[in-house]
Each structure stands twice: as structure tokens, then as C-alpha cells.
Amino acid sequence: MSDISVCGIDCQEACIECNKYLQEPCKGCNAMKGKLYWTQYLGLDICPIYNCCVNEKQLDHCGHCEKLPCDIYFSTKDPSTPEDVFVEKITERANILKQLIK
């Protein structure tokens, strides 16, 4: 699970994209303990998905949560992402996490 974040994003793939915009390379959600650059744009210190999963529920990833995907997933939508693409990505991430617990 080292390259898969608690929310099902492939950090290795996502960090390549994110690093285009960062001065210091992203180490991934798990290594950064949810304290990611984009949270500042939401007025947060930590990713709400990471906080709920790891800090509050003390789970390894959201695949262990019966509410996956929950309202927190849907509240983190990038406004520039079309709704259908966003829902498709969340579904993919949930499926990845569910496969990790089988």
C-alpha cells in the first residue's frame, strides 16, 4: 500500500502531476501525514479524508470504513473537475481500497 494513499489515490502517479506546481517534491499523502499543499486553499491544515481515516478512526485506509465513499470524499471536489469525472474517480478509488482488504 506504500503508493496508495488512505483515500485510494496512487500517490506515485498523483505526485508527478502535483510536483509540476510545487517548489519541493511531494512525498505522498501517507508520508506527509495528510498535510498536503492543497489543504491551504481550503483553509485546512490536514486533508479531511486523511484526518477522518487515520487520526479519528485509526484505520490503515478508507477501504476498512463501512461508509466508503462518504460525504467527506464528495466535499473535496475540485471545482474545475466535471461532476461525472469526479464521481468516476471516487468510484475507482473506492474499488482500489476494497481490493486491498480482500
Q: What is the pLDDT of residues 60-80, one digit of tens each?
A: 999 999 999 999 999 888 888
Would you say residue 4 lies in a domain? Answer: no
Would you say residue 92 lies in a domain? Answer: yes
Check residues 41 and 85 and name the one with the higher pLDDT: 85
Give the other-Cβ count within 10 Å of 97's Cβ. 24
Check residues 99 and 12 and name the one with the higher pLDDT: 99
Give the other-Cβ count within 10 Å of 23's Cβ. 6
Would you say residue 5 lies in a domain? Answer: no
Round to whole Å and give the CA distance between 49 and 61.
10
pTM for the model: 0.86
Would you say residue 68 lies in a domain? Answer: yes
For a pLDDT cut of 70, what percent of the chain falls above it?
92
Would you say residue 62 lies in a domain? Answer: yes
Strand partners, 10: 4
How much is the pLDDT for 15?
67
Q: Residue 54 above 60 pLDDT?
A: yes
By residue range, what is the domain housing residue 63? Answer: 11-100
How much is the pLDDT for 26?
74
Total domains, the chain? 1
Round to whole Å and give the CA distance between 61 and 58.
9
